[in-house]
Structure 1
Amino acid sequence: MARMAGTAARAEALLGLGVVSTTPVAGGDICTATRLRLTDGRGAIIKTRPQAPEGFFLREAEGLEWLGGAHGAKVPRVLAVAEDCLIIDWIEPSKPTTDLAERFGRALAATHQAGADGFGAPQNGFIGLAPLPNRPSPTWPEFFASRRVMPYVRAAVDREALTADEAATIETAMRRIHELAGPAEPPARVHGDLWSGNLVWGSDGDVWLIDPAAHGGHRETDLAMLSLFGAPHLQRILDAYAEASPLADGWQERQALHQLHPLLVHAMLFGGTYGARAGAAAQSLVDGPARA
């Protein structure tokens, strides 16, 4: 009760509004999430984490606002942000449906099509609690290899979550990155951590994006992440996306390339079989036909 009272007081100080009630929200592994009912009738959610890394919540807020500026897939409005918390609009959840999935596929295509200034972002960020280097690169293959794969290969090896042979296979794939990456595309406005847990299927008829690791990247990255960890009505999402924004030939085969990053992040953070899965994905790329 004391923690809830402290959370309410923090929200009131940031919002300049009273908090009528607080309700814990289940499911957050990294942050504590609390639903707020405000005196003006709105609902909100406050995310808190004691001793959060510097810029942790600010980068999330910036990512939400940047994605929202695309006017594609919906994102919650940022109400307040501080070093220790983030407050956003509450989205009332509902059950996933095929109609929602189709609408989301088209909306995600619009978000990607809004583009970015380059491959990367102005500031380094976070994916979960892991640091996310974002220094821009002139091409996506260079950005992906140097910012999204090799730093996590080294970290996973240090954690003994990736064997030397698996690391060598991934390094071989990265040496062939320009062959494997497919046709060059302009920078897309990507979510960057688009697994099903970062989608809220809203009762208002939209699917909402939360918890981004937003940057200028390759649009296939978001689709590969959805496929890696599964999403409700995934095929309907992909079909609607491809109708709105056709994908380059071979995108299905390139999913293994884009999935290297999340697999390596998971290997670094959690160990388990993620390192072996990353090694197997890289092996499939090395063994398969190169695509120009």
Structure 2
Amino acid sequence: MDIFTKKPGEPQSSLAEAAGLSWLREASPAAVARVISVDAHHISTARVEPTRPTPAAARTAGRELARIHLAGAPAFGAPPAGWEGPNYIGTQRQECTPVERWSDFYSGQRVLPFAHHAYRRSHLSADGLHTVQVACRLLRQLDVTVPPARLHGDLGNGNLLFGTEGPVMIDPAAHGGHPETDLAMLALFGAPFLEEIRAGYEEINPLESGWVEWTPLHQLHPLAVHAASHGPAYGVALIEAAEATITLLDG
């Protein structure tokens, strides 16, 4: 068996990743990377033999993502089952404290912490931070009734692999959240055959009519993360998404 091994530098990051993969695999064993071995300093997973993405594989990815979401989570912000250590998205630590309301979780644990970090690093202007804060204030007034989904949490294009045996998701930042957030991240980072992914998803878990219009709201978190870690260009994109969110919520 071919194995892929990495050695993250962040404390317990490999263990957090393994916990996330195991939690997601409960719902989709074929479409989530399998952990071969893990300790505090490394994680080894079954290697995915890459191939060109196809519309059929993209539709399969959408179906499997829907099955993972439908497996649910105890609360918004809930970490993977049994995991009590730190949680990460990429190399950046993020909070996973279970709460009842999605809007409180998303604004308070996902968007604002990274927006403030981006501001402190001069990757986001003071006016831009204020715009994000306004969007989050309006968001907290929104009554979201969707049940907590079991999210991958970092589903950029690079974390959805197309292998010879089908699509495989890797490197999660798994937690309980809103299902549209994973879909919005796929849209943000250019997943191939996105419409097929969405169609496959809705075969298993149909979403409310017009859900795609809310994509900018669900892109606030990944954009804030990238603004904090990758620079001012993402700060500009974050402001644009916040302005679109304000229009949606206050229009």
TM, length-normalised to structure 2: 0.93
Distance 2:119 2:86 in 1: 22
Using the TM superposition, name which of 77-86 and 208-217 deviates more: 77-86
Task: Give the counterpart of 1:247 among 207, 211, 228.
Answer: 207
1:74 matched to 2:36: no
Query: Is 1:98 the equivalent of 2:58?
Result: no
Is 1:231 matched with 2:188?
Answer: no
Deviation (angstroms), 1:77: 1.5
Instruction: Give 1:287 shift.
Output: 2.5
Q: Does 1:46 align with 2:9?
A: no
The equivalent of 1:187 in structure 2 is 148
Cα distance, 1:72–1:253 mapped onto 2, change above 3 Å: farther
Structure with bigger gyration radius: 1
Query: Secondary structure of the residue that 1:193 maps to in structure 2?
Result: coil
Matches within 5 A, 1:111-150: 111-120=68-77, 121=79, 122-150=84-112
| CA gap 1:131/1:289 in 2 versus in 1, 3 angstroms | closer
Q: Is the 8 A contact 1:123 1:135 kept in 2?
A: no
Q: Under a length normalisation based on structure 1, what TM-score does the superposition of the two structures give?
A: 0.80
The alignment partner of 1:253 has SS state of helix
Aligned to 2:93, what secondary structure does the other structure show? strand
Deviation at residue 290 of structure 1 after TM alignment? 4.4
- Partner AA of 1:260 in structure 2: L
Whether the 8 Å CA contact 2:75–2:100 is kept in 1: the answer is: yes
- For the Cα contact (< 8 Å) 1:123–1:134, is it kept in 2? no
Matched residues, number: 246
Distance across 2 between alignment mates of 1:189 and 1:135: 15
Match of 1:162 in 2: 124
Distance 2:217 2:76 in 1: 17
The one of 257, 269, 275 equivalent to 2:229 is: 269
Contact 2:73 2:149 in 1 (8 A): yes
Matched, 1:171 2:130: no
Q: What is the alpha-carbon distance in structure 2 between the residues aligned to residue 221 and residue 156 of structure 1?
A: 20
The CA deviation at 1:73 is 6.0
Match of 2:14 among 53, 57, 60: 57
Counterpart position of 2:180? 220
Report the structure, 1 or 2, having the larger helix content: 2
Deviates more, 1:72-81 or 1:155-164: 72-81
8 A Cα contact 1:72 1:109, kept in partner: no
In 2, Cα distance between equivalents of 1:71 and 1:227: 21
Contact kept, 8 Å, 2:156 with 2:191, in 1: the verdict is yes
CA distance in 1, matches of 2:141, 2:171: 32
Q: Which runs of 5+ in 1 are unaligned?
A: 1-41
Give aligned-pair identity as a percent: 42
Which structure ranks higher in relative contact order (CA pairs < 8 Å, sequence separation ≥ 6)?
2
Runs of 4+ in 1 over 6 A off after TM superposition: none
Q: Pairwise CA RMSD of aligned residues?
A: 1.6
Write the distance in 1 (CA, Å) between the matches of 2:105 and 2:208. Answer: 20
Counterparts of 1:290 and 1:254 in 2: how far apart (Å)? 13
Aligned pair 1:197/2:158, yes or no? yes
The 3-state SS of whatever aligns with 2:32 is coil
Partner of 1:37: none
